[in-house]
Amino acid sequence: MVRSYIPAEFIVEVDHEKCRRCKRCLLNCSFGALEFKDRVTPLHEQCVACHRCLTFCPEGAISVEANPLGFKYSHNWSPQLRKNIWKQAETGGVLLTGMGNELPYPIIWDCLVLDACQVTNPSIDPLREPMELKTFLGSKPDFLEFDTGADGTLRLKTKMPPQIAIETPIIFAPMSYGALSFNAHKAMAIAAAEFGTVLETGEGGLHRDLYPYKDHIIVQCASGRFGVHAEYLNAGVGVEIKIGQGAKPGIGGHLPGEKIGEEISKTRMIPRGTDALSPAPHHDIYSIEDLRQLIYAIKEAIDYKPVSVKIAAVHNVAAIASGIVRAGADILYLDGFRGGTGASPTIIRDHVGIPIELALAAVDDRLRQEGIRNQASIIAAGSIRSSADVAKAIALGADAVAIGTGALIAMGCRVCQKCYTGNCAWGIATQRPELTRRLDPEVAAQRLVNLLHAWSSELKEILGSLGVNAIESLRGSRERLRGIGLDALTLDIMGIKPAGR
Amino acid sequence: MKNGRAKINASGIYYRELNRMIREAIAAGEQEIELIGVNGQRYIADGIKQKVMIIIDGVPGNDLSAFMDGPTVIVNANAQDGVGNTMNDGKVIIHGDAGDVIGYGMRGGKVFIKGNVGYRVGIHMKSYKDQVPVIIVGGKAVDFFGEYMAGGILILLGLTCPNNQSIVGNYLGTGMHGGQIFVRGKVEKHQLGAEVGIQEIGPQDHKLIEPLLREYCEDFNLDYNESMSRPFIKLVPVSHRPYGRLYAY
């Protein structure tokens, strides 16, 4: 075998003074980066900085550092670009990666700041006064009609369209069983049920063991139609048609045959060992009219429960969103260009799509201008990293947000971006049984509940400082946002003022 | 008093109302439902699981039998696009032509079409264990027949075509990675997608298609011997992992 020209990305240091040679690190390393030759010997090239070995080393004897190897400086030819070319020269292949866009595009969330009350309007202490985060996802009527009862009281006459009620405006983003382990899926289902939110299945179907969580699940129907049948469509509180995803807009998915073991095979309803290929488009959807056809085909099969349509944020997202809402979607799921993935060509992940902040503002504006904003709820996703991002997204017009990578990090993910290899040392993005059993669903669920609890408490603090007592009062309230360092056109698109105005 | 048979006049009724009436008839215990005056209503038999018989007089609209999981549907005319979309079980018998994207993602059951079909028929059909979907087309098909096919059986007969005429368009089996396509007649190499190979059919294949063709001929009152009067070729995927070596890991 020809030796690779690509230098190691990380250097693993073992302190042999501290090391007791218990080999726990070898058992934990799922990437083959440690050997035992009289003592623990690193294979630096294999290390992905998943930190599993050093987290479980009882002596704290291991450290992982970025390889300090010097490259002749060039602002243009970064070491990463050089490494990519070496890899492609060696393999001839399309570069694959996991997680979300890693390039240093400006992060608009970090250029937005929230308002607070001072003197002229009182802030509210959420620890002592009720604070409402409950959110309803679904189409809202254009107007309300009331009857007057015999005793003179008003009663709502309008029949409300079905809604998905969640206790906090945060849901778990669609990540398929296949990309993720069963235990990871189960952890999210337990946490969603305990906290009162929902988990989206992703396009890999729903394992039978998770059907009891049906009140907290939105099932997905994507182009591959894996595991999709009438019973599955009715196994949740709604159905999502996946058109695109922020990490790979416009392209399909390939779950490699190695990941299709017995349980995945059962859930996706395809034979073991075959590639699960999701075509790039739904081949029954080539237009808004076709999308309407599938939305209503699904509504007919689920007794008109809410249907969501998920798209990646791309250039003409506002016009597309308008078409989707007019096609009958009850929920519009917008995924920005930083959204994560289990596997995507690196070039697509890093260079296609637009930021969620701009897409969200543009879509919310357009739907308001057309007078159809009430017809669908908006879920914003694509790298929601903290409760501040949640609050800012809601102020920009989102009804709720979805967290994918954030939820995985809560379960132990180190964002090493190797999901596509199926070797996840933390038992999250893998199907290898010796790895998946590392993730205890009950423990992981508790970590997820803790995260939801923490973010929800922070949201209440934010609402209190804004002097409002319900998340409804922040929704679409862009006056409570200001921009720092954003150019005039960007501020205009976002409909916000610069800080100081 | 129900006698297990219901007749619904669909003339001028919006699909949502019509499909509600069908579901109510099934809930009331009807075994056989005859729809008369159907004129383009969509989603008939969508998501229905009961093993009832639905007989359609007139042309049903798109997505007939989408997500269907059990019934038998007989169409005494042409059908439109999207028949058997993501269908799980049951049978659709069409005494005429059918449109594009028939049997998309279909995982079980049968769709029998007497006449011709449009584009992308059998796209991404897949099989799982004893669920093996079958589509048989009596006439011709155009491009992308069996595209992305992952499992199941597609049979194209070209019964109405002269012997020397091609009965299928281009890009046949493009992206195919499972299942089998049988074509009664010749296929030129340029008509094939890159992911399929041609095989002669053997005794095992005969054993597979014979009962299906007998059933098909019985449903349409055709001569089984006529359906077997020309040699078949079989198309299979070159690999069940066509894109396994595309990536740099």
Nearest residue to A390 via CA among A434, A454, A446: A454
| C-alpha dihedral sign at A301, A306, A312, A313 | positive
Instruction: Pick B63's closest partner by Cβ from A90, A273, A297.
Output: A297
For residues B76 and B54, give the distance between their C-alpha atoms in angstroms, rounded to a whole number.
11
Q: Chain A partners of B244 at a C-beta cutoff of 8 Å?
A: 256-257, 275
A188/A87 same-domain check: no
Please name the helix (run of DSSP H) or strand (run of DSSP E) that holds residue A319, with its range, or none: helix A317-326
What CATH number corresponds to the domain at position A268?
3.20.20.70
**Token pair 């400082």: residue:** A465
Interchain contact A78–B (C-beta under 8 A): no
CB atoms within 10 A of CB A316: 11
Interchain contact A96–B (C-beta under 8 A): yes
A177/A69 same-domain check: no
Average pLDDT for A129-144: 97
Instruction: Pick A297's closest partner by Cβ from B85, B240, B246.
Output: B85
The letter for the amino acid at A205 is: G
Residue where one domain finishes, among candidates A93, A111, A132 = A93
Interchain contact B61–A (C-beta under 8 A): no
Q: Tens digits of per-residue pLDDT, B120-161?
A: 999 999 999 899 999 999 999 999 999 999 999 999 999 988
Domain that holds residue A60: 10-93
Residue A154 in any domain: the answer is: no
What is the distance of C-alpha B23 from the center of its chain? 23
pLDDT at A370 over 80: yes
**Which residues are paired to B172 by β-bridges?**
B192
A62/A182 same-domain check: no
Interchain contact A35–B (C-beta under 8 A): no
A369/A238 same-domain check: yes
Interface predicted TM-score (ipTM): 0.94
Which pLDDT score, from 0 to 100, does residue B149 have? Answer: 93
Q: Tens digits of per-residue pLDDT, A463-491?
A: 999 999 999 999 999 999 999 999 999 99
| DSSP sequence for A106-135 | --GGGGEEE----SSS----TTTS--B--E
Contact A296 B43 (CB under 8 A): yes
In sequence order, which residues have a C-beta less than 8 Å from that of residue B176 and are 6 or more positions away? B146, B147, B148, B149, B150, B193, B195, B196, B235, B236, B237, B242
What CATH number corresponds to the domain at position A48?
3.30.70.20
| DSSP sequence for A187-225 | HHHHHHHHHT--EE--TT---GGGGGGGGGEEEEE-TT-
Q: What's the gap in Å between the CA of A290 and the closest CA on chain B? A: 10
Q: Chain B partners of A303 at a C-beta cutoff of 8 Å?
A: none
Residue where one domain finishes, among candidates A53, A77, A93 = A93
A177/A82 same-domain check: no
Which pLDDT score, from 0 to 100, does residue A276 have? Answer: 83
Residue A253 in any domain: the answer is: yes
Residue where one domain finishes, among candidates A30, A62, A93 = A93
Helix and strand numbers (H, E) in chain B are 3, 12
Which pLDDT score, from 0 to 100, does residue A501 have? Answer: 96
**Residue A289 burial (CB < 10 Å; 0-12/13-18/19+)?**
exposed
Interchain contact A85–B (C-beta under 8 A): no
A227/A372 same-domain check: yes
- Sorting pLDDT into bands at 50, 70 and 90, what band is B2? low
Residue A230 in any domain: the answer is: yes
pLDDT at A1 over 70: no
Lowest mean pLDDT among A284-288, A373-377, A461-465: A284-288
CA closest to B49 among chain A residues = A230
Interchain contact A212–B (C-beta under 8 A): no
A313 SS3 class:
coil
Contact A30, A435 (CB under 8 A): yes
Interchain contact A347–B (C-beta under 8 A): no
Domains held by chain A: number: 2
Between positions 281 and 340 of A, the ones with CB within 8 A of B are: 283-284, 293-294, 296-298, 300-302
CA angle A142, A146, A147 (to 5 degrees): 150
A86/A188 same-domain check: no
Across chain B, what does the average pLDDT equal? 94
A313/A173 same-domain check: yes
Nearest residue to A417 via CA among A336, A340, A312: A340
Q: Tens digits of per-residue pLDDT, A410-467?
A: 999 999 999 999 999 999 999 999 999 999 999 999 999 999 999 999 999 999 999 9
Residue A195 in any domain: the answer is: yes
Residue A153 in any domain: the answer is: no
Percent of chain A scoring above 70 in pLDDT = 100
Q: What is the CATH number of domain B97-237?
A: 2.160.20.60
